[in-house]
Structure 1
């Protein structure tokens, strides 16, 4: 569990706030996470969950959501998020699991999400972005796929880049993306055709969709 921004982190570091956070979490941990080890810090908390719970990701995510709800009143007006690492097979892997949990938070926040539960396992292919050591390599990848749309966005009013993000978020279901954007399906069709004309990409191609989704997430990470 971590604060989502520096302001919330600083507020939680104030005298007495760690005790408030500890008190908010203690009852929940005792009742819902028997056998768990908990370390509460001024602006964060770490939970080591027993194997019988940790192996069920759905259960862990539900517990993480409850932890987030319990901590929310202490973090107001700010917010926090919970990251979940992969299962540690022994003490020697605890550090790796902790790093994964923080990486999941990092990637989720860079995509603009706050107050979320982020599982490293659920990141899927997006985990590869965390392994890329060169920001310039990521930037080139984004430019190759999205460059024409980034240039278009600087000079035109039609939000084609936002349309592409909505399509990716809606699993490429055009009607769902159109509803999300509040536009007619005919407008969505026009925008898709315009995106394809500008980029040369075929949005019905599965491999292209994966590449676009990764490029969109990389763009958020880089702040492009």
Structure 2
């Protein structure tokens, strides 16, 4: 590294005078150049120590060197962070301009499979801290983190499921009560990342509509629901035909729907359903009989049970009765 630094420091050491402002500015500039050229900080300090012999001069010069060096490192880190966030934003929006080329800069091979996890409820969380912790463990080439549409988004290789588990751990530890996390399926290519992101976000929406209690929901476990919604007219017809009689029930249809959901979740066990609802088994039995009389369908009969369960799921997805018709 061709630099006037050794000469300047040697002159001040020989005269005993402290470095002035101009010399310190040159020291800072030398520190910046060293950082940009990848010179180790230890080597830079060793060079300064060889050139200096005065204690006070040493302290001021080394402080200026390190200030310049650290300033350049921080500027480079901020630039890298901004580039990462812009890349992730473009990736999740499916903007394909130079994505593969830009991905290589961050160590991603977009021809491989990636999966996306999204977390909601980060009002009390620390996204930057979570990103730093994940990168410290798995490396910046394996983890991309960004905030999008109010969600904290984490993109990881499909071959590294432990990263999703670690992401979940940090969300659980740092997010506010009521947080929820959705996980998309592994998908290949830039378009696959977009699909996995949409699946993960969609899993959160489905969990809300269906009243799923789990804090972590996986799109792979909810594949039947998008299938149901592909033919909206058919599912609306099923819901209306099967469940409309419940609207005439005294006390409203909602307690009866909740009872059916509890029965399905408990695999037909009325005692377990009663505990889930916080009511007596006798009340569950009474409600099921009312459902049978009103609709003509019974969850005890296999074929009718499937029709009822599909109708109840469709009702939640369509926000029946207000969302139908």
Question: When the two structures are superposed, what TM-score results if normalisation uses the length of structure 1?
Answer: 0.72
How far is the alpha carbon of 1:88 from its aligned partner? 1.1
Which of the pair has more CA radius of gyration?
Answer: 2
Give 2:77's aligned residue.
none
Please point out which of 127, 137, 147 is paired with 1:21. Answer: 127
- Give the distance between the partners of 1:41 and 1:175, measured in 2 at CA: 44
Q: 1:182 to 1:36 in 2, by over 3 A?
A: same
Please point out which of 289, 301, 305 is paired with 1:193. Answer: 289
- Please say if residues 134 and 163 of structure 2, whose CA atoms lie closer than 8 Å, have aligned partners that are also in contact: no
- Give the distance between the partners of 1:31 and 1:137, measured in 2 at CA: 49
List aligned pairs for 1:125-144, cutoff 5 A.
Answer: 125-132=224-231, 134=232, 136-144=233-241
Give 2:143's aligned residue.
37
- Give the distance between the partners of 2:294 and 2:202, measured in 1 at CA: 34
Give 1:146's aligned residue.
243
Q: 1:151 to 1:53 in 2, by over 3 A?
A: farther
Give 1:47's aligned residue.
154
Give 1:180's aligned residue.
276
Q: Secondary structure in 1 aligned to 2:244?
A: helix
How far is the alpha carbon of 1:165 from its aligned partner? 2.0
Cα deviation digits, residues 158-188 of structure 1 (max 9, x gap): 9322211221222222110012223332332
- Give the distance between the partners of 1:40 and 1:184, measured in 2 at CA: 47
- Give the distance between the partners of 1:198 and 1:190, measured in 2 at CA: 12
- Please say if residues 33 and 49 of structure 1, whose CA atoms lie closer than 8 Å, have aligned partners that are also in contact: no
How far is the alpha carbon of 1:32 from its aligned partner? 6.5
Q: 1:207 to 1:103 in 2, by over 3 A?
A: farther
Tell me which stretches of 4 or more aligned residues in structure 1 moved more than 4 Å. 32-35, 59-64, 153-156
1:81 aligns with 2:180: yes
- Give the distance between the partners of 2:281 and 2:139, measured in 1 at CA: 47
How far is the alpha carbon of 1:121 from its aligned partner? 0.6
- Give the distance between the partners of 2:145 and 2:252, measured in 1 at CA: 50
Cα deviation digits, residues 8-45 of structure 1 (max 9, x gap): 7xxx5xxxx89x32224431454378853223216322
Please point out which of 167, 172, 182 is paired with 1:69. Answer: 172
- Please say if residues 104 and 118 of structure 1, whose CA atoms lie closer than 8 Å, have aligned partners that are also in contact: yes
How far is the alpha carbon of 1:122 from its aligned partner? 0.7
Give 2:50's aligned residue.
none
- Please say if residues 153 and 159 of structure 1, whose CA atoms lie closer than 8 Å, have aligned partners that are also in contact: no
- Give the distance between the partners of 1:60 and 1:211, measured in 2 at CA: 39
- Give the distance between the partners of 2:250 and 2:239, measured in 1 at CA: 15
- Give the distance between the partners of 1:47 and 1:21, measured in 2 at CA: 10
